[in-house]
């Protein structure tokens, strides 16, 4: 399985969720066992020696790969969710995204100052969601924060919005128009 094979398995959906957005749909790649395995294995290999103690997945597509990566790294999994989805006390962060505003939450007791976290999401576009996730996690006083995406949309410069991390790494880079 090559990067090109995985990229060719990703579907473009025009005008979703609003007109003018070309959505990169990873569900078609996830239907392919080899692509799914490639995502997991590439992440595990990259982060194996970074001391990750918790892998955080951002709702909802961040939940797909993050738990299996956490298991392989012998780390815990922590969900970052939309409001009203977590049952205990939460910490939250609101943010603007390319087509509206949103809020994300994490359980207040999910992280400790000893944690080295990997925050994962499927796609980096303008960086607003991940910027909010990093701010949220930094409020909790963790030791280090790594950021990972399956796909980075090249040309939108989303990495510039994300500050305070050890590193930002994307498995694939796809031009916006592809």
Q: Is 32 inside any structural domain?
A: no
**Res 99: pLDDT:** 67
Check whether 145 has a pLDDT greater than 90.
yes
Q: Is 101 inside any structural domain?
A: yes
pLDDT classification of 18: cutoffs 50, 70, 90: confident
Q: Is 103 inside any structural domain?
A: yes
Write down how long the chain is.
178
Q: Residues 88-142: pLDDT tens digits?
A: 999 999 998 666 789 999 999 999 999 999 999 999 988 999 999 999 999 999 9
- Counting other chains too, the contacts that 87-96 makes at CB distance below 8 Å and 24 or more residues apart are 91/136, 91/139, 91/140, 92/136, 93/132, 93/133, 93/135, 93/136, 93/139, 94/132, 95/128, 95/129, 95/131, 95/132, 96/128
Catalytic residue among 40, 42, 61, 131: 61
Give yes or no: 98 in active site.
yes
Q: Is 124 inside any structural domain?
A: yes
Longest CA–CA separation in the chain, Å: 44
Q: Is 37 inside any structural domain?
A: no
Helix axes 62-72, 33-47, angle to 10 degrees: 50
Give yes or no: 152 in active site.
no
**Number of domains comprising the chain:** 1
Q: Is 142 inside any structural domain?
A: yes
Residue 118: φ, ψ to 5°: -115, 115
Check whether 19 has a pLDDT greater than 70.
yes
Global pTM reads 0.94
Q: Is 17 inside any structural domain?
A: no
Check whether 56 has a pLDDT greater than 80.
yes
Range of the domain at 61: 50-175
> The CATH number of the domain where 167 resides is what?
3.40.50.2020
Catalytic residue among 59, 92, 98, 135: 98
For 60-71, what is the mean pLDDT? 96
Q: Residues 149-159: pLDDT tens digits?
A: 999 999 888 99
Compute the distance between CA of residue 126 and CA of residue 153 in angstroms, rounded to an integer: 8
Percent of the chain with pLDDT over 70: 97
Q: Is 10 inside any structural domain?
A: no
């Amino acid at each position: 399985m090559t990067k090109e094979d995985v990229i060719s398995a990703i579907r473009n959906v025009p005008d979703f969720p609003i007109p003018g957005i070309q959505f990169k749909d990873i569900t078609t790649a996830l239907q392919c066992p080899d692509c799914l395995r490639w995502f997991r294995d590439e992440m595990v290999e990259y982060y194996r020696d970074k001391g990750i103690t918790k892998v955080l997945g951002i709702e909802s597509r961040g939940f797909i790969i993050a738990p299996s990566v956490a298991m392989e790294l012998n780390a815990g999994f922590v969900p970052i969710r939309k409001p009203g989805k977590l049952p205990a006390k939460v910490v939250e962060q609101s943010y603007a995204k390319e087509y509206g505003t949103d809020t994300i939450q994490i359980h207040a007791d999910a992280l400790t100052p000893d944690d080295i976290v990997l925050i994962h999401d499927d796609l980096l576009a303008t960086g607003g969601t991940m910027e909010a996730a990093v701010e949220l996690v930094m409020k909790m006083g963790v030791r280090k924060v790594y950021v990972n995406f399956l796909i980075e949309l090249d040309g939108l410069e989303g990495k510039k919005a994300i500050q305070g991390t050890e590193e930002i790494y994307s498995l694939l880079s796809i031009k916006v128009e592809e």
